[in-house]
Amino acid sequence: MAVPDYQSLMLPLLKILGDGKDHKRGDVTEQLAEQFKLSDEDRHELLPSGKQSRFDNRVGWCRTYLGKALLLEKPSQGILRITERGATVLKAKPEKIDAHFLRQFEEFKEFTSVSKPGPTGNGEDEGETPEELLETSYQKLREALVHELVAKIKTCSPHFFERLVVELLVKMGYGGSRKDAGQAVGQSGDGGIDGIIKEDKLGLDAVYIQAKRWEATVGRPAVQTFSGSLDGPRARKGVFITTSNFSAEARDYVAHIDKKIVLVDGEQLANLMIDHGLGVADVASYSVKKLDLDYFDEEV
């Protein structure tokens, strides 16, 4: 079953607290996971940032919104308890509790009025938590940048593309120094090989490079030719970089040969450039913080 959105968790969570007892936050999360029959894969599905599970994030925001509406309280660290208002809401047997339902409470309305933009602050309840909305926006901006980068690279000269490949490989830790890598790439031109760089700064192994600004899909014949060019120097590792893409046959071919050949298409090339800060500039940086509960633990 897919991970439920944070609003779908509100009524089930409040019902768990409906007995009026204190409940450990972790126990409530586990009960919700069991109630929604989530698999281990569902439980461990991460947000795009990779720093938190999507389910835990949604349960967290579910608790936050119910708390802002004063339907639950946290009498001590890691403990949840239903409030008198929450018990009254449950007695009314609502079909569902969501952000729209919570707006009947002034405390929640006040909270959402200063929480723009967000799932309850922009007039649209999409079921995404603030972190998810932030990351969705980030991914959209990144995807647009990837397309811009690929289009720009295709307009550059072969010499510039060669230099770009050198700088990216050095930033990724290959090729030794930039001078070493610059001398190695673009000097071979032997049987489909555009360059040879060190795999590490000590030069313990060599990686053979082919870098092509192509528009058409790169098929198996081109990749097979590159693979064959590694036989002369008895090379075992190669990287084929293109501004276009590779056919399924080409990818299947490298997956079934003894040599280790990595295929880098235009989209992956652009993503690597973004990850390593090549050809891109920072526009803004946001540091998202959360409450440090350990700091407020007076027993420590």
CATH number of the domain encompassing residue 87: 1.10.10
- Does residue 219 lie in a domain region? yes
Whether residues 103 and 187 share a domain: the answer is no
Mean pLDDT, rounded, for 27-32: 96
Q: What is the pLDDT of residue 266?
A: 94
Q: How far apart are CA 131 and CA 239, in angstroms?
A: 36
| 188 plus 269 within the same structural domain | yes
DSSP H helical ranges for the chain: 10-16, 25-35, 40-43, 54-68, 84-91, 99-102, 106-113, 130-155, 158-171, 178-184, 220-229, 248-255, 266-275
Burial of 293 per CB tally in 10 Å (0-12, 13-18, 19+):
exposed
Largest distance between two CA atoms of the chain = 80
Segment holding 69, helix H or strand E: none
Query: What is the residue whose two structure tokens read 């119910």?
Result: 66
- Average pLDDT over every residue of 210-218: 89
| Mean of pLDDT values over 246-274 | 94
Indicate the SS3 state at residue 93: coil
Assigned domain for 145 exists: no
List, for residues 86-141, the tens digit of each pLDDT value.
Answer: 999 999 999 999 999 999 999 998 888 755 444 544 444 557 888 888 888 888 88
Mean pLDDT lowest for which of 159-163, 182-186, 202-206, 223-227?
182-186
Q: How confident is the model at residue 49 (pLDDT cuts 50, 70, 90)?
A: confident
Q: Does 141 reside within a domain?
A: no
Band (188; pLDDT cuts 50, 70, 90): very low
Percent of the chain topping pLDDT 70: 85
Q: Which domain holds residue 58?
A: 10-128
Mean pLDDT within 268-275: 95
d(CA 62, CA 54): 12
Token pair 């450039």 in the structure block, residue: 273
What's the rounded mean pLDDT across residues 168-195?
67
Judged on CB neighbours under 10 Å (0-12, 13-18, 19+), 204 is exposed
Is 170 within a domain? yes
At residue 58, the pLDDT reads: 93
For 145-178, write each residue's pLDDT tens digit.
999 999 999 998 888 888 888 888 888 888 766 6
185 pLDDT more than 80: no
Q: Is residue 293 part of a domain?
A: no
- Which of 84, 113, 128 terminates a domain? The answer is 128
Query: For residue 189, is pLDDT > 80?
Result: no
The mean pLDDT of 252-262, rounded to a whole number, is: 92
- In a shared domain, residues 33 and 122: yes
Is 267 inside any structural domain?
Answer: yes
Statement: the pTM of the whole predicted model exceeds 0.85: no
CATH, residue 248: 3.40.1350.10
Q: Quick check: is 296 in a domain?
A: no
Q: Does residue 108 sit in the same domain as residue 204?
A: no
Mean pLDDT across 193-220: 80
Give the pLDDT mean for 228-233.
79
**pLDDT higher at 205 or 11:** 11
Residues 37 and 100 grouped into a single domain: yes
Instruction: Give the pLDDT of residue 5.
Output: 93
- How many domains are contained in the chain? 2
243: confidence class by pLDDT, cuts 50, 70, 90: very high
- Any domain includes 18: yes
